[in-house]
Amino acid sequence: MTDIRIFPDRKAMTAAAAEYFIQIAAKAIEESGRSSVALAGGSTPKALYEMLAGDEYRERIDWQKMLFVIGDERNVPPDDERSNYGMAERSLLRPLSISDKNIVKWKTANGEPEQIAERFENEIKDAFSLKHGELPRFDIAMLGMGADGHTASLFPGTKALTESERIAVENDVPQLGEVRFTLTFPVINNARNVMFLVAGADKAEAVKSVIEDTENGVDLPAGSVRPSNGTVTWFLDEAAARLLMHV
């Protein structure tokens, strides 16, 4: 089931996304005593993280019962301004005093990309107590999307797009001239709830292509996000949604 929610501006989109996040997390905690989220990177989610850590939401759930996983990462140290972990740590994790044991991040400061990805993957297996071959099932897989239709660090034409078994991999992205780290489609598509947070006119083409044209074979990476047993909810501002015809 795909739900498209369009808001007049980023602020309204972020507020709706915060309410949705809390409701999903609270339900998971009520039902199982814990919740898990794969956090999106980039710039769009920062306002959401700050809102969740703010006065209106910080008391709404028991954050210590939540597992936070950095969904994808750049190959930079945590204190680098490009670090997705660094952004989440400053805007969400530190303000909510989330303990390290409830965070799984890519330890990019040391090791080769393959080792970094393998270490991250092993930490996820431990955190979810996975048996061999099992995939983690996130309550929330939060995703952004680039103007090229990439999501997480699953970029067009890159090797990670076809990864069908591993939980997390390093991914060489020639169009960026860098290595990235990312959860894979098998994990994203195993989530209970995927939430896309996409804003800005520059994303409108990709939004239309992924939401309305994917059936026509216009296959951008974000179009491969199709949870086998889960929901997809798009949180869009009007600028990003402006080319959608059927909403």
Give yes or no for residue 152 binding ligand 6PG (CB under 6 A).
yes
The minimum distance between CB 153 and ligand 6PG, in angstroms, equals: 6
The minimum distance between CB 200 and ligand 6PG, in angstroms, equals: 7
Separation between Cα atoms, residue 210 and residue 220, nearest integer Å: 7
The CB-nearest residue to ligand 6PG is 144
Distances (CA, A) of 97 to 50, 104, 159: 13, 15, 36
Give yes or no for residue 230 binding ligand 6PG (CB under 6 A).
no
**Which of 136, 144, 149, 230 is close enough to bind ligand 6PG by CB under 6 A?**
144
**Which of 10, 20, 66, 72 is close enough to bind ligand 6PG by CB under 6 A?**
72
Give yes or no for residue 41 binding ligand 6PG (CB under 6 A).
yes
Region from 9-17, 59-67, 140-148, 232-240 binding ligand 6PG, contact rule CB under 6 A? 140-148
Q: Which residues bind ligand 6PG (CB under 6 A)?
A: 40-44, 72, 84, 144-146, 150-153
